[in-house]
Amino acid sequence: MELCMNANCVAALSSTPGSIFTHFLQVLLASMCTLSKNEDYPIDRTDEILVSNREFDFVIAGGGTAGTILAHRLTEVMEWKVLLIEAGEDPNPITDVPGLFMTLLGQAHDYSYKSEPQEGICQSSKNKQCGWSKGKALGGSSVINAMIHLFGNERDYDNWASLGNKGWSYKDVLPYFKKSLNCPAEHIAKWGKKYCGIGGPMNIRNYNYSLTNIQDIILSSVHELGLNVLEPLTGDRFVGFGRAMGTLENMRRVNTAKAFLSPIKDRKNLYVIKSSRVDKILLEGHRATGVRVTLKDGGSIDIKASKEVILSAGSIASPQIMMLSGIGPKEHLTEMGIPTVADLPVGKNLQDHIVWLGIQIAYVNESAMPPSPTFLMDATYEYLVHNSGELATAGIDLVGFVNVNDPNSVYPDIQFHFGHFPRWNPDKVGSLMSTFMFNDELIREAQENIMKSDLLFPCAVLLNPKSRGVLKLRSVDPADPVKIYANYLTEEEDLKTLLKSVDTIKSLLNTETMKKHGMWLRHIDIPGCRHTQPNSTEYWECSIRHIATSLFHAVGSVRMGPSNDPRAVVDARLKVHGIDRLRVIDASIMPNIVSGNTNAPTMMIAEKGADMIKEDWETRVHVEL
């Protein structure tokens, strides 16, 4: 195998590794040419912009999931000069490796936000704060996410449309989900094109999970229980269990910068500024005319947008930029000493999926052996040469959708991500627990138990929370992170629904399949819950309050809705109410969170947003080849 310790690969290894083993793997992996390089991404054109005309047709703030797609689609119009401004750098090549995704959190590509401490949630997390990871790189959160690609369901989008958002029903948005995609030919041949596109920039593939037979065991017990096994997972039915696809190619992550910017990196009308922060929107009266930017060297410049400013900085930063510019709730802006330009409920309606790691299945796999001393070397070889093994999968692609309140419903209220942690591997389970910022006692508890048995985590996700959070400015300094009030479980119904997820797992454990494998429901010794009886309702509630936390799916803080909706900030064409030439196009516009992971829905929002811009400016598209 050719070794090429490419200077760019090495330079990109800027993050502090989580452990000595991770560092070893990072160096080894980056030394192979099979991972991405900085040359794969568009160059930073800051210097050129500084000495030339600082006016563009469109300025996009934030080059994450949505921003990179917008840059791709808008530069299809050759007459349009488009500037994308991103706070982060090019993705580190290590982010390509699915099996290392948990080690990316808390590192250089993660803003590592934390929610404000809240009674009754994240009680076993460090400082009793829930971690709110968010990607900081070209490609945004698609650079550090778990790559799971799901749409949500028909009811989610029909609900958006019923709230007065014309053009956002499931029927309307489905073509935009597909537009981005390039599905495998075998998939199309077998399942057709109704839910999978071909020829789009983003590859999605199966993870080809091959570590153990645990996924087959789960699906077999699901079948035995009479629940749906869905193949493929995305289709006409929304309740059931199956394997999700991922944004992958050859078992390498495909972040949105790689999918949408790399192929067009030489388009002359695409300008990218990296490592620079958009601080505020420049306004003339009620019209957006440009943005103020802090560059990498600390200098500040103003950049003009002759057509539109588009905010795609994500659900936390887009509202922050708006509020710093005087667009937000008047009371809060006044409190912060910011003159109000438009009194809108920016930052309210914040929603997230909480994930509960308190249900764990243990079993002793008699045929398993302790890992050999060369285990990490072997895994790396297996990955680089055969694209398989431990490093080829994020390990949570086996997914279940159930309705715990109404077994007859065709729509789910709980999602499970099944994660498997093999015996004798304390690093892996420790990495998961650290990802979610659990305290040292809990990490130790899991690591001690992993020496005795394999652990299967059916992580329960509350899909349609009723509780709403809010974002507020911490200060008028754009460098200061906003205050995140998650307000999890403030609606009683949310707690009740999450509690019922235990019953589904108990039913699975009652099947002959799981009994045959000697699987049992493990009692987690949570120090803060020792006053409760194991397996009592009090224990499970206490467990939720200690070890349920964010699944990093923040949405809704710039809600879409008609002007007569007091909760709405943007209209159905994603234009900010009462401000000309300003749109918000990212996950923040979701009126209600979708019933599944949020990356694919954000891609859809960007594809649809780009088309709406083209329609509104009545442009015929001339694609540069």
Q: Interface with ligand FAD by CB under 6 A: which residues? A: 61-67, 85-88, 105, 133-137, 140-142, 144-148, 277-278, 312-315, 317, 321, 552-553, 586-587, 597-600, 602
Q: Which one-letter amino acid corresponds to residue 503?
A: D
Q: Report helix, strand or coil for 283.
A: strand
Residue 349 beta carbon to ligand FAD: minimum distance, rounded to whole angstroms: 15
Q: Smaller CB distance to ligand FAD: residue 571 or 586?
A: 586
Q: Residue 471 in contact with residue 485, Cβ under 8 Å?
A: yes
DSSP string, 126-138: GGG--EE--B-BT
Q: Which residues contact 193 (CB under 8 A, 6 or more apart)?
A: 178
Radius of gyration of the chain (CA): 24
Q: Nearest Cα to 238, choosing from 417, 406, 401?
A: 401
Residue 137 beta carbon to ligand FAD: minimum distance, rounded to whole angstroms: 6
Q: Which two tokens stand for residue 39?
A: 């040359």
Q: Which residues contact 172 (CB under 8 A, 6 or more apart)?
A: 157, 161
State which residue has the least CB distance to ligand FAD.
64
Q: Smaller CB distance to ligand FAD: residue 100 or 495?
A: 100
- Nearest-angstrom CA–CA distance, 179 and 175: 6
Q: Which two tokens stand for residue 321?
A: 């930029």
319 prior amide bond cis, ω within 30: no
Work out the angle at residue 521's Cα, subtended by the Cα atoms of residues 517 and 525, and round it to the nearest 5 degrees. Answer: 135
Residue 66 beta carbon to ligand FAD: minimum distance, rounded to whole angstroms: 4
Q: Smaller CB distance to ligand FAD: residue 541 or 607?
A: 607
Q: Smaller CB distance to ligand FAD: residue 139 or 522?
A: 139
Residue 311 beta carbon to ligand FAD: minimum distance, rounded to whole angstroms: 9
Q: Smaller CB distance to ligand FAD: residue 204 or 362?
A: 204
373 prior amide bond cis, ω within 30: no
- Nearest-angstrom CA–CA distance, 600 and 219: 25
- Nearest-angstrom CA–CA distance, 225 and 402: 13
Active site residue 223: no
Residue 122 beta carbon to ligand FAD: minimum distance, rounded to whole angstroms: 16
Residue 18 beta carbon to ligand FAD: minimum distance, rounded to whole angstroms: 14
Q: Running DSSP on this structure, what letter comes out for residue 263?
A: G
Q: Residue 263 in contact with residue 69, Cβ under 8 Å?
A: no
- Nearest-angstrom CA–CA distance, 26 and 20: 10
Residue 402 beta carbon to ligand FAD: minimum distance, rounded to whole angstroms: 19
Q: Smaller CB distance to ligand FAD: residue 157 or 539?
A: 157
What is the DSSP pairing of strand 82-85 with strand 55-61? parallel
Side-chain-side CA neighbours of residue 617 (13 Å) = 18
Q: Smaller CB distance to ligand FAD: residue 480 or 492?
A: 480
Q: Nearest Cα to 80, choosing from 308, 299, 279, 375?
A: 308
Q: Report helix, strand or coil for 113.
A: strand
| Distances 509 to 361, 416, 502, 512 between C-alpha atoms, Å | 8, 15, 11, 8
Helix (H), strand (E), coil (C) string for 434-481 = HHCCECHHHHHHHHHHHCCCEEEEEEEEECCCCCCEEEECCCCCCCCC
Q: Running DSSP on this structure, what letter comes out for residue 594?
A: -
- Nearest-angstrom CA–CA distance, 520 and 523: 9
Q: Smaller CB distance to ligand FAD: residue 108 or 225?
A: 108
Q: Which two tokens stand for residue 156?
A: 């989610």
Q: Smaller CB distance to ligand FAD: residue 61 or 432?
A: 61
**What residues are designated binding site?**
278
Catalytic one of 523, 553, 577, 622:
553
- Nearest-angstrom CA–CA distance, 53 and 447: 58
Residue 537 beta carbon to ligand FAD: minimum distance, rounded to whole angstroms: 30
Side-chain-side CA neighbours of residue 189 (13 Å) = 3
Helix (H), strand (E), coil (C) string for 505-525 = HHHHHCCHHHHHCCCEECCCC
**What residues are designated binding site for FAD?**
278
Q: Smaller CB distance to ligand FAD: residue 34 or 550?
A: 550
Q: Residue 270 in contact with residue 75, Cβ under 8 Å?
A: yes
For the annotated catalytic residues, the residue numbers are 553
